[in-house]
Structure 1
Amino acid sequence: MKEDLSRFREEMMCELQNQKGSITEIQTRVADLEAACFEMKNELLETLERNKAMNDKLVDLESRSRRNNLRIYGVPEGKEGRSVSEFVTDLLNKQLKLPDGSELQIQRAHRALVPRPPPNKAPRSIIVNFLQFNTKEIILKKAWEQKMEMEGKRLYFDNDYASDVIERRKAYGPLKAALKQKGIRFQTPYTKMRIFWDSGVRTYENADETASDMIKRGFGLTWVPKENKIRLAKERNQNLLDNHTMKSGLKEKNCWQRN
């Protein structure tokens, strides 16, 4: 009986030692996984930063390539006839009352390269490329100063922005609506916003900065800053990463327990 108890104790001690060794190995593997995940997270953040820098350069290059372009919005589909360039030349000369002999030097003009919309939808914009940047600026300024119409509908002129710039400008939409409601004058040069307050003119770098100041001035805006959106996205990604690490550790542990 005594020998049986002694043998049983030895077997239990051996089993405990084996279990301890297994737990130690599992802890080592989990630590290695956490370290690997930490390294991957840092590499991912560095990659995202490099990607952002490259994207900023691409946006700058694209914007420069569109420098001599302008867009005309509101021209009914088919109104341009067979030659968009001739149509635009005639439109600008007549509507803007340019001096006789004015050289527009239009190099290309065409509809936006998207499918033709159905009759009940807004027509595609017309993109016009000028040889000279100054000519485009003069035309744009005159078009903004005068109200141009076609078939009883307003024509709108604007720069031909890169898609990334368009998204940044769209972010001002709710802010513009709030300012218009109060009759406050504003402008949106490129990706900035200029507001003519009673206390003076102020220029903002982005929609978040504009919204923050407007809220301080008493505007009842519901606004989530872009930085907060990015932070929340990072927190979600971190939680997913932590959950993955935890599950990987549990799988390792269960595997060793079965063995």
Structure 2
Amino acid sequence: MPPQKQKKAADGPVAPIFAARRTQEIRQDGGRTPPEDGGEDSAGIATLIPASKQDIAALFQKITEVQEILAGEIVRGSQVVKAEIQALGSRTSDLEARVEEVVQQANTSADVVNQLQDRVEGLEKAMEDASNRSRRNNLRIRGLSEEVSQAALEATVVGLFQRLLPDLPAESFLMDRVHRALRARGPPNSQPRDIILRLHYYKTKEKILRANRERCLHYEDVELQLFQDLAPITLARRRDWKPVTALLRAQGLKYTWGFPFRLIVTKDSRTFSCTNVSALPAFMDRLGLQMPDGVRSTLPPQIQRLPAEWQEVAD
């Protein structure tokens, strides 16, 4: 009797994954087990039990459940991320608004400080001018020995001035006061303190200064220096402009100091003046000279405004 052919599964070919799953389930249930020679029967064909429709349906059901779980987790995760992004955007918007307020307040403060600085500068100039005006009749003598006592100062100074202006009567040299600079006397070999005096007549003071430009004062073979007495702030400003005046002298240009503080230069029968360091480059350019190095401003710099570096966008 011819061997009976095996009946094919009605469900058609089955993927190995389903067959393997079915085989594993049979083993777990204590059913038939594959042969010990590597899982093949005597005919050399692997023992694979096809999965049923119920198995496939159950597998697809579990896949669907996993998909639903993953979709739910993705939705919940995206909602959490969206909420955090919205919260971060809200905080960022609040911070930008705060920063904008801070920038506005800083710019307002900078404007106020700059205005106050300009006012303080104006007040300082007014005080400087008032101080220099109160010293208009004052002269300062440098180099007179400390051996000259306070009691002999007036007579000694009048004698020096009479050598410069012998034609003036003694009454013209009337002095309101004369004294040494108000500081402690230095060591024996140090520079003697300056003599500060106030002449009663302004015209006499001017004549003494003009005569001193042509003829120097001497006391016991020591050459003395004669200056107009000025406010300390004026002297400090003139020291700061020393590179400029040195350049002018090197170029043979005549200059003088004006009041309130300004530098006046004469070139080619024309007069040029400058009052502050910020205008000095243009002043030197008009004179046809290069800006010297080492010029320092006694004024603090202006406070710069802060720019707004962001823009608001629509949601």
TM bracket, shorter-chain basis: 0.7 to 0.9
Q: How far 1:70 sits from its partner (Å)?
A: 1.1
2:128 counterpart of 1:55: no
**In 2, Cα distance between equivalents of 1:224 and 1:38:** 32
> Root-mean-square deviation (CA), in Å?
3.3
Name structure 2 gaps, 5 residues minimum.
1-68, 310-315
3-state secondary structure, aligned to 1:188: strand
**Structure 1 contact 192–203 (Cα < 8 Å) conserved:** no
Alignment map for 1:30-45 (pairs within 5 Å): 30-45=99-114
**In 2, Cα distance between equivalents of 1:168 and 1:27:** 45
Relative to structure 1, is the Cα distance of residues 159 and 8 closer, same or farther in structure 2, using a 3 angstrom cutoff?
A: same
Q: TM-score, normalised by structure 2?
A: 0.62
**In 1, Cα distance between equivalents of 2:188 and 2:306:** 52
Aligned length: 232
Name structure 1 gaps, 5 residues minimum.
247-259
Relative to structure 1, is the Cα distance of residues 69 and 54 closer, same or farther in structure 2, using a 3 angstrom cutoff?
A: same
Residue number in structure 1 paired with 2:44: none
2:273 to 205, 216, 220: 205
**Structure 2 contact 158–173 (Cα < 8 Å) conserved:** yes
Q: How far 1:129 sits from its partner (Å)?
A: 0.6
Residue number in structure 2 paired with 1:77: 146
1:222 to 269, 285, 292: 292
**Structure 1 contact 111–127 (Cα < 8 Å) conserved:** yes
**In 2, Cα distance between equivalents of 1:121 and 1:221:** 37
Q: TM-score, normalised by structure 1?
A: 0.74
1:24-77 per-residue CA deviation (whole Å, 9 max, x = no partner) reads: 111111111111111111011111111111112111211111111111122123
**In 1, Cα distance between equivalents of 2:238 and 2:270:** 17
Alignment map for 1:1-259 (pairs within 5 Å): 1=69, 2-94=71-163, 96-181=165-250, 184=252, 186-190=254-258, 191-195=262-266, 200-206=268-274, 208=280, 211-214=284-287, 216=288, 222-223=292-293, 233-234=301-302, 238=304
Identity percentage of aligned residues: 23
Relative to structure 1, is the Cα distance of residues 179 and 50 closer, same or farther in structure 2, using a 3 angstrom cutoff?
A: closer
Relative to structure 1, is the Cα distance of residues 211 and 168 closer, same or farther in structure 2, using a 3 angstrom cutoff?
A: farther
Relative to structure 1, is the Cα distance of residues 25 and 169 closer, same or farther in structure 2, using a 3 angstrom cutoff?
A: same
Higher relative contact order (CA 8 A, sep 6+): 1
